[in-house]
Amino acid sequence: MKYIIMIMCLVSFLACHTEESQVMPVDDPHAGMDFDGMDLASIPGHEGHENLFQSKDKLKKQIEKLEQALEKDPQNVNLMLELSKAYIHSDLTSQALTVLQKAYGINKTNPEIVYTLAILFTSFEQYPAALAILEPYIQQNANNAKVLSLLADTYRNMNKYEQAIESYKKLLTLNADDLTARYNIAVTVLILNNDIKKALEFLAPLEKKQDLLSENESAMQLLTLLKEVQKKQKKLSFKEYFFNKQLGNIKFDEGNYVEAISLYAKALNEIPFDASTLIDQGISYRRISDYVSAQKSFQDALTLYPKNPEALFNLGIVIIIDLKKKEEGIRYWQKLMQVAPYFAGTQHLKERIAEVLQGNLSSNIDL
């Protein structure tokens, strides 16, 4: 059974599930322990097509032009790359894969071709095929951090944990402050042998660099969680925890909130004091209109961490909008402004509180 679940944007091939704002909105369940890794949105140049392909018609015309140009110049790998990205935007991933394989046959040293083709192979869970092009490239280009990171992620997805760790460590020789590499080493170590002490060796140095740590919420939450586990001195199964947590996130993205709730509960059975999973669970309960259970999940998170901004924010929403208890809900938002004045959504809370008091707050709140 796979214990590493690919991020859902690899299924959609268009874009990652991202927050509409920097706060933890009520509709975003992914506050916590997702693996930082590969997605098609990270393909070089991919993000630049957002303005170019503003409609399906424009996209279709762009594909036609690229196909026609390629017919005239069938060995042009740059055209092949552009066409593959256009196919990806159109969810025509099989066509993209075919074009990229041809491009790779022509030029095996182009980093964009190697990276993009490997991303597609991994999206189809064709990990051996991805390794077959990543490993030779890295042997000759050991300092390409982006390809090296993808190689490490691929090893991890194949349960080749020792090789994944070694590849992540090589990333740290290129950049000791690589937060994603440090986070992924810690997670892989935990999955491999539950070695909390070893995982902390890679995360703890970041405590002295709070400005960097604050840029990676997953790393910050994992560091907090590991310190709590170490303090409680409990024997826990991180492998089962990560598996159920990740699968719960996937079920949420699929709209299967009941199953997501069940999987979050299984994760909490392994690590019952994980506030991020409790918040995810609460959001899922709200999606099925079980507001009382949602309230309890958020309150349980606050019992563990009374100053958790995401729990305060979401609890306020449930109490104000769903349970119609304005004064009680406002108190949680007021506390949020006190304990987390720099929390991304705090700047709008005063306005939202005023709207609540006037009875004008939308049920589709987005801070």
Q: Is residue 298 scored above 50 in pLDDT?
A: yes
Taking the C-alpha atoms of residue 216 and residue 262, their distance in angstroms, rounded to an integer, is: 27
Whole-number average pLDDT of the chain: 79
Q: Is residue 13 scored above 70 in pLDDT?
A: no
Residue with tokens 């042997």: 139
pTM of the model: 0.62
Token representation of residue 285:
């309960």
- Among 279, 275, 267, smallest CA distance to 242 is for 267
Q: What is the pLDDT of residue 278?
A: 92
Token representation of residue 362:
């939308």
Q: Which residue has the higher pLDDT, 306 or 315?
A: 315
Q: Is residue 38 scored above 60 in pLDDT?
A: no
**What number of other Cβ atoms are within 10 A of residue 55's Cβ?**
8
Query: For residue 267, what are the contacts with CB-CB under 8 A and spacing of at least 6?
Result: 240, 241, 244, 245, 248, 274, 277
- DSSP state string for 9-50: HHHHSS-----SSSS--TT----S-PPP---GGGSTTGGGHH
Token representation of residue 276:
């991020």
Determine contact, residues 43/17, Cβ cutoff 8 Å. no
Q: What is the pLDDT of residue 159?
A: 85
Whole-number percent of the chain with pLDDT over 90: 38
Determine contact, residues 201/189, Cβ cutoff 8 Å. no
Rounded to an integer, the average pLDDT of 12-27 is 31
Rounded to an integer, the average pLDDT of 127-144 is 95
Taking the C-alpha atoms of residue 152 and residue 147, their distance in angstroms, rounded to an integer, is: 9
What are the structural domains, with CATH classification, of the chain?
A: 259-358 (1.25.40.10)
Q: What is the pLDDT of residue 343?
A: 65
* Helix pair angle (309-317, 275-287), 10° resolution: 20
Rounded to an integer, the average pLDDT of 343-358 is 73
Q: Is residue 234 scored above 80 in pLDDT?
A: no
Taking the C-alpha atoms of residue 32 and residue 207, their distance in angstroms, rounded to an integer, is: 18
Q: How confident is the model at residue 338 (pLDDT cuts 50, 70, 90)?
A: confident
Q: What is the pLDDT of residue 344?
A: 61
Rounded to an integer, the average pLDDT of 50-59 is 61
Determine contact, residues 122/153, Cβ cutoff 8 Å. yes
Q: Is residue 9 scored above 50 in pLDDT?
A: no
As a whole number of Å, the end-to-end CA separation of the chain is 39
Q: Is residue 131 scored above 60 in pLDDT?
A: yes
Whole-number percent of the chain with pLDDT over 70: 77
Q: What is the pLDDT of residue 12?
A: 28
Rounded to an integer, the average pLDDT of 69-95 is 91
Rounded to an integer, the average pLDDT of 204-223 is 70
Q: What is the pLDDT of residue 211?
A: 63
**275 Rama class: left (phi>0) / alpha (psi -120 to 50) / beta:** alpha
Q: Which residue has the higher pLDDT, 39 or 189?
A: 189
Token representation of residue 329:
């809900």
Segment 244-254, tens digit of pLDDT: 988 999 999 89
Residues in the chain: 367
